[in-house]
Structure 1
Amino acid sequence: MIYLFYSERDSLLHSLDPRVKIIGTAAGIAAIMLYNDPKILIPLFFVFLVIGRFLGKVGIGEQLRLLKPLLPIVIITIVVWPFIYRPRLMGLLFGVSFAMRLLTFALITFLLLMTTSQRDLILGFVRLGMPYEFGLTISIALRYIPTLYILSRNIMDAQRSRGWEVEKGNFIVRARKMTAVLIPLLVASLKTAHELSIALESRALGASEKRTFLYDIRMGRKDYAAVVLILALFALTIYVRYGLGIGHVRIYS
């Protein structure tokens, strides 16, 4: 089973052409890559939270719940940096910076998936010049993230109901106990991939080089205005970073 992020809502982000949202996602990720100062990255993270709340009508709590699986990676990033960079305080700041980058990347991607149906997402990639197979692959890969997460959560709940206790023991013992989750998850993933391949073959994927679409997308004035605004904001982030020299801290001299 493939689990979906997308939910139909009456919002500005939902009504935009998927090409606009793809361009906006790429521009947002590129803009975040320009900075490594937590004084810039932390406010940007909350800016995207607000965008999702008011332009996408996705609750703040709902967005944060989607980011919850990333907390272990975030914690490891923050803890490790002070040990690999001196002084430790600067290492901690860089750890926070890279953690905020990761969270913001994920948040931007989740907003794209929550406000764009798979059909529109594939069409957006195709209309931007990407081959249909590539667009379909990217779309399926993005949708597979929540699938694996929910599958692992269901397997862990099932194993706990059988007396499985992963919290007890040292790190090695816990790692060995995780095989009770990893093996069923691997089997379920292979089964899902097999069923997906059968579904694609039954629909004659690749039988014809030229595809036709029952439903198509068209850019309107609102979409063109959104693209202009996105490009203008991206140009502003470049000016702030390179013109004003704000938002970047040199890691290695």
Structure 2
Amino acid sequence: TIPHRFRTLGGFPVQSRLTMLFDLYVPADGWLQRLDPRTKIALVLCGAALFVVMNHLLVLLGLLALIHIMLLTSRVPPRQIGWVWRQLLRVVVIIVLVWPFFARVAGPVIFSLGPFSVTWTSVWAGLATATRVVGMSLLFFVILFTTRQNDLVRGLVRLGLPFEWGLTLSMALRFIPTFSQTIAQIRDAQAARGWQVERGDIRGRLRGLTPVLVALIIDVLRTGDTLGMALAVRGVGSGRPRTVWRDICFGRWDWVALVLIGLIFVALIYLRFGRGFGAEIL
């Protein structure tokens, strides 16, 4: 029996934390889980395009809120959404702090530092960029949280990608959070052995990251070797047509969802370029 104080790791129960290391899919009876993978791919691509073309901070925040509503109504646990936020927190902070210095946007000047001038408009631009990054990241986690890996591969293949390409893309999306968790575990293990990277100058801190990088490279090589053997055993790369045990198919709600996605996307694109909706930062 695991002692009570060791039943959580990083805010997750041990069992769910270990499950997340290998599969982000949430096996719940949510409406997103019931949709065809191709429908969700269309949703993600249209949503990503909207995040790119929209500039208004409130519009971006509205899109971000809509993603959270979709995930929560599909019974994705809030702790998994929070896990994504924690992974992006440092990137968001860096964008918010650095972007205003390099965004040459006219507006009331807050202060000047040498050749750089920070304006209120550039601050809002930094917030908008951070919101855009979080929103587009969460969009891709919509697929990972609500789609089985084999269904995602099958969906990519049905869209015209070769099986090997679909499998490679699916594994790439799946192993990014896995290696992120691996880095966290390596850092914790090294810290338990007295490793301290927070001390010293920048050069010393970079040198202190060497144990983490070495352990990560070893883990990646081991994972790649094991994965290669597993794929070879399953006949990947043999050149023969592959069969599937459970194929995917479009249902009535998939067509309804596609129509709604298309209508909303076309309407927002028209408002953006035809009426100027969301063109300005504020």
**Structure-1 residue corresponding to 2:89:** 71
The 5 Å alignment of 1:50-89 reads: 50-54=69-73, 56-86=74-104, 87=106, 88=118, 89=120
The match for 2:34 among 9, 12, 15 is 15
- Asked if 1:162 corresponds to 2:193, the answer is yes
Mapped partners of 1:205, 1:199: distance in 2: 9
85-94 or 233-242: bigger deviation: 85-94
- Asked if 1:95 corresponds to 2:114, the answer is no
Mapped partners of 1:24, 1:164: distance in 2: 44
> Is the 1:38–1:97 contact (alpha carbons within 8 Å) kept by the matching residues of 2?
yes
> Is the 2:197–2:209 contact (alpha carbons within 8 Å) kept by the matching residues of 1?
yes
**Structure-1 residue corresponding to 2:227:** 196
Structure 1 portions without partners, runs of 5+: none
The match for 1:182 among 190, 204, 213 is 213
> Is the 1:37–1:248 contact (alpha carbons within 8 Å) kept by the matching residues of 2?
yes
Tell me the CA shift for residue 209 of structure 1. 4.2
User: CA offsets, 1:26-56, max 9 Å, x none?
Assistant: 11111111112212111211111111111x1
The match for 2:68 among 38, 45, 49 is 49
Tell me the CA shift for residue 131 of structure 1. 1.3
Instruction: Name the SS for the 1:248 alignment partner.
Output: coil
> Is the 2:26–2:76 contact (alpha carbons within 8 Å) kept by the matching residues of 1?
no
**Structure-2 residue corresponding to 1:133:** 164
2:167 partner letter: L
User: CA offsets, 1:109-167, max 9 Å, x none?
Assistant: 11110100001001111111211111111100000111111101110110111011223
The match for 1:216 among 247, 252, 260 is 247
Mapped partners of 1:61, 1:90: distance in 2: 33
Bigger Rg over Cα: 2
2:102 partner letter: I
**Structure-1 residue corresponding to 2:202:** 171
Mapped partners of 1:233, 1:64: distance in 2: 27
Mapped partners of 1:50, 1:223: distance in 2: 19
Mapped partners of 1:189, 1:38: distance in 2: 39
Tell me the CA shift for residue 171 of structure 1. 2.8
Tell me the CA shift for residue 169 of structure 1. 2.7
Tell me the CA shift for residue 177 of structure 1. 1.3
> Is the 2:96–2:126 contact (alpha carbons within 8 Å) kept by the matching residues of 1?
yes
The 5 Å alignment of 1:28-39 reads: 28-39=47-58
Figure out how many residues of one structure are paired with residues of the other and give that number. Answer: 249
2:280 partner letter: V
2:246 partner letter: Y
Mapped partners of 2:212, 2:138: distance in 1: 26
162-171 or 179-188: bigger deviation: 162-171
TM-score normalized by structure 1? Answer: 0.93
> Is the 1:49–1:60 contact (alpha carbons within 8 Å) kept by the matching residues of 2?
no
- Identity rate of aligned residues, in percent? 37
TM-score normalized by structure 2? Answer: 0.84
> Is the 1:67–1:106 contact (alpha carbons within 8 Å) kept by the matching residues of 2?
no
Q: CA RMSD in A?
A: 1.7
Instruction: Name the SS for the 1:42 alignment partner.
Output: helix
Instruction: Name the SS for the 1:52 alignment partner.
Output: helix
161-170 or 41-50: bigger deviation: 161-170
Instruction: Name the SS for the 1:215 alignment partner.
Output: coil
Tell me the CA shift for residue 249 of structure 1. 3.0
Higher strand residue share? 2
- Asked if 1:151 corresponds to 2:182, the answer is yes
